[in-house]
Structure 1
């Protein structure tokens, strides 16, 4: 009788709930049909028969085995804890500025911007390079591509 992992009491409780839901749904469908709303009554009856079909196919036994098994609930708890840990690490990572590799790469890029590897051009005799590095130099703007596009369109 039934599956080994579902106790008889649990199975009977689940089947009773499904039968009660189906009976209530069929009762509502009958009242709806009495009011001459046959399309709605047919739809309600279709929904009401779903729990009966689930009991007959064994799906309810499987769900009852999940719902009444403490090991399953502990498993859901472990999955929830795992999800919570993942989300916590993502929040901390965002607030701290990324992972260690990302922070290291960002620091190297910042040092490269302050101290470029290419040599600076000479400024001529008697002239010295400014020592202030508070504001990085703007990159040279090259509008030749834009000018070519504008000329192509006659602008």
Structure 2
């Protein structure tokens, strides 16, 4: 009952301010103020205020929020423990790869990945293109600088 009265009073005050603003011939601002002022009245009329009051003053709802908070806390702690227990990301990745190699016979190839390679040799890197001549790299920059008189 008190929440409805407060919301109605806020709406009335906002509409009064909107009327004063419109009297000063600031119609766009007055329309915005009137729109904001009607929001609390609309919330009261739709029953949202009653629902919010029931939520705020209900111990069962707060217990539910507590249970949600506890579950979130457990989730965060277990993630932190999981990350701390495995070492660095590189170490965990290496451990997963090592576990995957044990599942496949040595020297065997995996069908989707192509031919296998011995485990001690790194993968061959693709050949790098030779760098272009420095004059070619800076010719565009020089043209732009000349264009701007620099």
- What TM-score, normalized to structure 1? 0.57
Asked if 1:141 is matched to 2:124, the reply is yes
Instruction: Give the Å deviation of 1:53.
Output: 1.5
Which segments of structure 1 move beyond 6 Å, counting only runs of 4 or more?
Answer: none
Q: What CA distance in whole angstroms lies between the structure 2 residues aligned with 1:23 and 1:58?
A: 18
Q: What CA distance in whole angstroms lies between the structure 1 residues aligned with 2:58 and 2:123?
A: 69
For residues 23 and 140 of structure 1, do their structure 2 counterparts lie closer, same or farther at Cα, with a shift above 3 Å needed?
closer
Query: Which residue matches 2:70?
Result: 81
Structure 2 unaligned spans of 5+: 108-118, 130-150
Q: What CA distance in whole angstroms lies between the structure 2 residues aligned with 1:60 and 1:111?
A: 58
For residues 81 and 24 of structure 1, do their structure 2 counterparts lie closer, same or farther at Cα, with a shift above 3 Å needed?
farther
1:28 to 17, 27, 40: 17
Q: Which has the higher contact order (CA 8 A, sep 6+)?
A: 1
Query: Which residue matches 1:70?
Result: 59
Instruction: Give the Å deviation of 1:34.
Output: 2.5
- What TM-score, normalized to structure 2? 0.59
